[in-house]
A and B are shown apart, each in its own frame.
Chain A
């Protein structure tokens, strides 16, 4: 009986998450750079990013840089300064290099998604 109850709870919790999340997108041309497209799951309950997909025609070295950023940005609060700080920290820590994209542009692209 308790197992059924737990499953119901899990189901309810899952539904709650779905209801409180929405997929948001932005398209942003980085000044003097390339086209950045962001798609993210927004968690309205705590104003945070669930998961994020960063795409576009920019260059990143090494290429794994973007996956690393996507992982690090998960569950981040939707705050421009916090995001910029986090992005810069990942770039510096992992010695990443972008061409046609930069930390400020990426932050702006993410913030444009905010409802």
Chain B
């Protein structure tokens, strides 16, 4: 019999709530209160998440964010700034000691990305893992991923780009040199792709979610059972959102 993991979908949450839920699930799993959990989610309003070690001031144009109604948040994971708009975001939380998770961090990235690659395959998209933390299709990035390990528990979250608006992305992100903004935009357009671009048609959340669910089930030989956050997770998420992700102190800490 296949092992059962919890499967959550939470659409249209704010950046603060999304990051708080990931941390709350990590917390609950590390205490043995919930099984390994895979969550698919979207962001409303669209938002930028920056890596734990990045400087908010250096990455984000606050005026443009305000004008366009784009939120911003610091993640608990490292990595780079990500503009979340047309995408399916996933997170997986699982004990570090689980036999399906390699001890080596890079290998574990590859293993979890394996689920996304199988999921993309369900959509008819061929892709490969590109270390450190990307998935590419025809040499172009379609997914970025970030992992942390806390209390002997792994949290990896990342994106599957369903569509991409590079011009808008660059309007909210700062570039190191304004003189090369146009060149950077054109370079990124050459290096990034999306489900829509490859398939030549829109792919809604349910379609991509179903494909990714199958990808996780196949990669890890598990059954993803739809479930809900526990009362404790909801309470923890509210606390983390208030004390960390929506606070100036957290987001501007660097």
Instruction: Show the binding face of A for B, using Cβ within 8 Å.
Output: 27, 33-35, 37, 53-63, 66, 97, 99-100
CB closest residue in chain A, given B80: A57
Q: Is the CB of A57 within 8 A of B54?
A: yes
Can you show 22 pairs from A to B with CB atoms below 8 A apart? A54-B53, A55-B53, A57-B79, A57-B81, A58-B78, A59-B77, A59-B105, A59-B132, A59-B133, A59-B146, A59-B147, A60-B78, A61-B148, A62-B149, A62-B150, A63-B78, A66-B53, A97-B105, A99-B78, A99-B105, A99-B106, A99-B132
The answer to whether B51 has its CB under 8 Å from any CB of chain A is yes
CA distance A99 to B93 in the complex (A): 20
Whole-angstrom distance between the Cβ of A57 and the nearest chain B Cβ: 4
Residues of B within 8 A of A33 (CB): 132
Whole-angstrom distance between the Cβ of B251 and the nearest chain A Cβ: 14
Interface centre among A35, A59, A97 (most CB of B within 10 A): A59
A-B residue pair count with CB separations less than 8 angstroms:
55
Which 9 pairs across A and B sit closest by C-beta, in order of nearness?
A57-B80, A59-B78, A55-B55, A57-B51, A63-B52, A55-B254, A55-B53, A57-B79, A100-B132
Q: A55-B55, A99-B132, A100-B132 are in contact. Are A63 and B79 (CB under 8 A)?
A: no
Interface centre among B51, B53, B77 (most CB of A within 10 A): B53
Q: Is the CB of B149 within 8 A of A37?
A: no
CB closest residue in chain B, given A55: B55
Instruction: Show the binding face of B for A, using Cβ within 8 Å.
Output: 51-55, 58, 76-81, 105-106, 132-133, 146-150, 176, 254
Residues of B within 8 A of A53 (CB): 55, 254
Q: A53-B254, A60-B53 are in contact. List 6 more A-B contacts (CB 8 A).
A: A56-B53, A57-B81, A58-B78, A63-B148, A66-B53, A97-B105
Whole-angstrom distance between the Cβ of A78 and the nearest chain B Cβ: 22
Whole-angstrom distance between the Cβ of B147 and the nearest chain A Cβ: 7
CB closest residue in chain A, given B109: A99
Whole-angstrom distance between the Cβ of A62 and the nearest chain B Cβ: 7
Whole-angstrom distance between the Cβ of A66 and the nearest chain B Cβ: 6
Whole-angstrom distance between the Cβ of A44 and the nearest chain B Cβ: 25
Q: Is the CB of A57 within 8 A of B148?
A: no
Residues of A within 8 A of B105 (CB): 59, 61, 97, 99
CA distance A33 to B146 in the complex (A): 14
CA distance A27 to B132 in the complex (A): 20
CA distance A40 to B66 in the complex (A): 30
CA distance A40 to B188 in the complex (A): 31
CA distance A53 to B58 in the complex (A): 13
Residues of A within 8 A of B150 (CB): 62
CA distance A92 to B80 in the complex (A): 26
Whole-angstrom distance between the Cβ of B102 and the nearest chain A Cβ: 14
Q: Is the CB of A61 within 8 A of B55?
A: no
Whole-angstrom distance between the Cβ of B245 and the nearest chain A Cβ: 15
Q: Is the CB of B80 within 8 A of A63?
A: no
Q: Is the CB of B54 within 8 A of A56?
A: yes
CB closest residue in chain A, given B176: A27
Q: Is the CB of B54 within 8 A of A61?
A: no
CA distance A57 to B132 in the complex (A): 11
CA distance A27 to B77 in the complex (A): 21
CA distance A97 to B107 in the complex (A): 14
CB closest residue in chain B, given A98: B78
Residues of B within 8 A of A57 (CB): 51, 53-54, 78-81
